[in-house]
Amino acid sequence: MKIEPDECSIDDLARRPGQCVPWTGVRNYQARNFMRDAMRIGDGVLYYHSSCAEPGIAGLAEVASAPYPDATQFDPASPWYDPKATPAAPRWVNVDIRLRRRTRLLGLAELRRHPELATMQLLRPGNRLSITPVSAAEWAAVLALLDTP
């Protein structure tokens, strides 16, 4: 899951009550569908800092809730407001994410150097999705890289 660190960095997540944050503001249907249909409580999350000087995996988190309507879609003051969404027919959902641990920054360039991650959706040219699935093999490869000094 990608996030800009000035929005909620891994350090911000660590300081939040319960080290948990609702993953609001997703306004891409494919990313929403991943969150709504594929994520389950306890699933691992690669907490990825994007749109910053050093993009990369900054920590590990987990899905801490089932999907539920994203309240920002109903708030006209929110940048994520959606005038077509109603409480009776919400268009957007979010899940809560809980910190497992901060890690060293596993940068984009380092991720790209490893052939076992060549098919990782995050690394595909032109990928702009904030939420992408990670295979079990990719997850294991990332954990092995994080445990390597």
All structural domains of the chain with their residue ranges: 2-146
Q: Is-contact 65 120, C-beta < 8 A?
A: no
Mean pLDDT for the stretch of residues 119-129: 90
Average pLDDT value for residue range 11-25:
97
Dihedral angle sign, alpha carbons of residues 85, 90, 96, 102: negative
pLDDT, tens only, 36-70: 999 999 999 999 999 999 999 999 999 999 999 99
pLDDT for 97 equals 98
pLDDT value of residue 2? 96
Which residues make Cβ contacts (< 8 Å) with residue 22, sequence separation at least 6?
70, 94, 95, 96, 97
Query: pLDDT per residue over 81-102, tens digit each?
Result: 999 999 999 999 999 999 999 9
Q: Mention every residue, 6+ apart, whose C-beta is less than 8 A from residue 57.
A: 46, 47, 48, 49, 103, 105, 106, 111, 142, 146
pLDDT level of residue 127 (50, 70, 90 thresholds): confident
Whether 148 has a pLDDT exceeding 80, the answer reads no
**Percent of the chain with pLDDT strictly greater than 90:** 94
* Average pLDDT value over all residues in the chain: 96
pLDDT value, residue 149 = 62
Does domain 2-146 correspond to CATH entry 3.50.50.60?
Answer: no
The pLDDT assigned to 126 comes to 84
The predicted model scores a pTM of: 0.93
Reported as a pLDDT band with limits 50, 70 and 90, residue 130 is: very high
